[in-house]
Amino acid sequence: MNPSRWMPLLGLWLIAIPVHAENMDDLIKVLEDGECRNCRLADADLVHADLRDADLRDARLQRANLGEAQLDGADLSGANLSFTSLRGASLRGANLEGSVLHGTDLRDADLSGARLSPNALEEAHWQGATGINRAMQSHAALHNAGVEASQSGRWSEAEQLFSAAILRTPEEPLSWVARGISRSEQAKDQLAEQDFRYAAVLYEQQGADAWANQLYNAADSISTRRFEPTEQKAGNGLGNQLLEGTINGFKMLAPLAAKALIPLGLGL
């Protein structure tokens, strides 16, 4: 790490920015030396920090704010990044293998060439992130990303994510139900009906006859609605309306994994 990048600003940085790092000596060391294995940097405010090629193996970075930080080539293997904000950060070629990404905010980050452990993104927030290798996106991670998109009303994006989740694990009925709801919210009634019927078949195969029957009823209602005169249709959103009194649409749009919900207002 080239000291000329930070030395003129280090003093001003520490004065101007309200830093609350777990250990100030470790914070200074990482800024000065670009390496601080096992650093205690929980709660540190490192927005826009230049930490390219930094050695942060096994660092404690819980709840730290690294929004838009430069971390290209950094070694963060084994680091605890629980509830850390890396929104908009550049992590090109970074090593994140074995790191804890519980509730980590990776939205809009650049992960091109980054190394992650299998299924590492299941408990992280990565909407808008670029450079994510398809192999990193497990069924649960894709489904959970679809849940987040749907909760924000981004139904088209949710549909695409649920479709990708289905391609990963087509035998999971929950993703078919979720996609059916997202399609119904876009008035794609025929496609939504098909998704509900197929999900019902999958639940039948699992012995969950009550849920299967409720989905068949929802599909029948959508089918009836499709042939109503346009002026009689209630508009979009039929999927949740139909399911609310039966299997509860929002319950069906639950994450597949125990995903932590970081306060997404944190950071920039």
CATH superfamily of 1-137: E3 ubiquitin-protein ligase SopA (2.160.20.80)
- Give per-residue pLDDT as tens, 43-89: 999 999 999 999 999 999 999 999 999 999 999 999 999 999 999 99
Residue 9's pLDDT is what? 37
Beta strands in the chain (DSSP E): 95-96, 115-116
Q: Do domains 1-137 and 141-252 have the same CATH topology?
A: no
- Predicted confidence at residue 255, as pLDDT, reads 63
Q: Which CATH number is associated with domain 141-252? A: 1.25.40
CB-side exposure of 20: number of CA atoms within 13 Å? 6
User: Dihedrals φ, ψ of 3, to 5°?
Assistant: -60, -25
Whole-angstrom Cα distance, residue 230 to residue 143?
32
Q: How far apart are the first and last CA of the chain?
A: 25
The number of beta carbons lying within 10 Å of the beta carbon of residue 140 is 21
Cβ atoms of residues 122 and 259 within 8 Å: yes
Gap between the Cα atoms of 100 and 62, Å rounded: 9
- Prediction pTM value: 0.59
* pLDDT tier for residue 25 given thresholds of 50, 70 and 90: confident
Query: For 212-260, what is each residue's pLDDT tens digit?
Result: 998 898 888 888 776 655 555 444 555 555 555 444 554 556 666 433 3
5: DSSP letter: G
- Residue for token pair 């430069």: 70
Helix-strand-coil split of the chain, %, nearest 5: 45, 10, 50
Domain boundaries, given as residue ranges, for the chain:
1-137, 141-252
How many angstroms from the chain centroid is the CA of residue 123?
A: 7
